[in-house]
Amino acid sequence: MKKKYALIGTGGRAQFFYGSLVRDYGETSQLVAFCDTNQTRMDYANKLLVENYGYKAIPTYKADEFEKMIQVEKPDTIIVTTMDRTHHTYIIKAMELGCDVITEKPMTVDEEKCQDIIDAVNNTGQKLRVAFNYRYAPHNTKLRELIMNDTIGDVHSIHFEWLLNTEHGADYFRRWHRDKRNSGGMLVHKSTHHFDLINFWLDTQPQTVFAQGSLMFYGKENAEKRGVTQFYNRARGSEIAKNDPFALDLEKSEDLKGQYADAEHEDGYYRDQSVFGDGISIEDTLGLLVRYKNKAILTYSLNCYMPWEGFQVNINGSKGRIEMKIVEKSYVNSGGKKEDEGALQSKSIKVIPMFGEAYDAEIEEGVGGHGGGDPILLNDLFGVPEDDRYHRAASHVDGAMSILTGVAGNISMRTGMPVQVDQLIKF
């Protein structure tokens, strides 16, 4: 019997899940319904199902009919790809109604909602999976393998620098993510990937977190300091925006037009807001210091307006050092091919033994988004998972421990004090 799935939140990230489900896993899986706050967006998703995937149009339900959808369509699993601050609402309700859940990262945005989700898992016994595709990228898996194999001995410290460029990085400041209430800020929404990688690589959990961060580039005030005198609220219909390299043209992408430009009359959500406008409450420049339970120390940096996209991580151990550099292709959510998201321009892992010659670790070539990690993740979610010595499948515990580094960072920025992660929630 086919496993039945329903999806809530048909915006930019949704097609990654439902497209693969109907295209690659039709023998074992069935997509039975869409749910969203916006009917136009759901209609566009159905159009893609029919025209791009040769699937039938499926029933649609507005967000206030979520419970009705589950009662009528009887899905086994709910896929949650809504705005971050609403994840917990649908995760918890779905589990209470007897469904398992797959949620896009981050699992949620703060410690209270995280505790509510953990309580729901404990009370219902349902399964919750978090879609951490970066774990599955061959270069990240290789780093896990090197550490597991004692290549550099016990890991003592990590310096992790993530760069978001002026296309992808800017995109978080155009849309709902720019309001920290919606996304938890970049330490939660984006850095959850990176903190999860540290937990995954080192097989440990964060203990103490101290953070600093500010909005230093985006936003109207910063632009004024640099001498900008002309501003606009959104790119659509603005003459000023035509000369702004940061402006997003919703008409240039069929997906952006169908999901957002054509749908904004329903809910007033503008996908193309100015990154130099007012109302941005998230940071674009962040630094973090973390002590882990295995005593390793992380220094972490995130900057959202860099000339290239990717990351550099240096790991120091008792037997040597590993240096990894990954350069990713530029990407705007819904503004290009799905396989370009997280796709690589270059990658390298150098192993430097304490005594001996340095060498480049061999990394297998991956096909698909996030360096080849996406297809493996999707098979893990919808197909028949293979035995995995790296334990890449992420549970609700993994989802919690990744966001709690960022949540603790947000608390630290507010208070100016270090935060003990174990004091935030109870499993």
* pLDDT tens digits, 255-277: 999 999 999 999 999 999 999 99
**CB contact set of 361 (below 8 Å; sequence gap of 6+):** 142, 146, 322, 349, 350, 351
310, HSE (Cβ side, Cα atoms, 13 Å): 19
From 54, 69, 60, select the one nearest 22 (Cα to Cα): 54
pLDDT at 233 over 80: yes
- Give this prediction's pTM: 0.95
pLDDT at 344 over 90: no
162-201 per-residue burial string, b: 16 or more CB within 10 A, e: under 16? bbbbbbbbbbbbbbbbbebebbbbbbbbbbbbbbbbbbbb
The mean pLDDT value of the chain amounts to: 95
Strands of 356-418, DSSP E: 359-360
> What is the reported pLDDT for 372?
74
Listed range (137-151, 168-182, 371-385) with the worst mean pLDDT = 371-385
Q: How confident is the model at residue 339 (pLDDT cuts 50, 70, 90)?
A: low
Q: How confident is the model at residue 390 (pLDDT cuts 50, 70, 90)?
A: very high
Query: 265 - beta bridge partners?
Result: none
> What is the reported pLDDT for 55?
97
The fraction of the chain above a pLDDT of 90, given in percent, is 91
The fraction of the chain above a pLDDT of 70, given in percent, is 96
> What is the reported pLDDT for 334?
60
Average pLDDT over residues 175-189: 98
Q: How confident is the model at residue 364 (pLDDT cuts 50, 70, 90)?
A: confident
Strand order in the sheet with 100-104: 60-62, 29-36, 3-8, 77-80, 100-104, 128-131
Listed range (138-147, 324-333, 396-405) with the worst mean pLDDT = 324-333
pLDDT at 146 over 90: yes
> What is the reported pLDDT for 335?
58
Structure tokens at 406: 């960022």
pLDDT at 366 over 90: no
The string of pLDDT tens digits covering residues 101-125 is 999 999 999 999 999 999 999 999 9
Structure tokens at 133: 């595709």
pLDDT at 211 over 60: yes
pLDDT at 329 over 90: no
Average pLDDT over residues 396-404: 97
Q: How confident is the model at residue 371 (pLDDT cuts 50, 70, 90)?
A: low
Q: Dihedrals φ, ψ of 382, to 5°?
A: -115, -15
Listed range (33-42, 130-139, 397-406) with the worst mean pLDDT = 130-139
Using alpha carbons only, what angle is made at residue 4 by residues 377 and 131, rounded to the nearest 5 degrees?
25
> What is the reported pLDDT for 118?
98
pLDDT at 418 over 70: yes
| 128: three-class secondary structure by DSSP | strand
The residue with tokens 């193309």 is 272
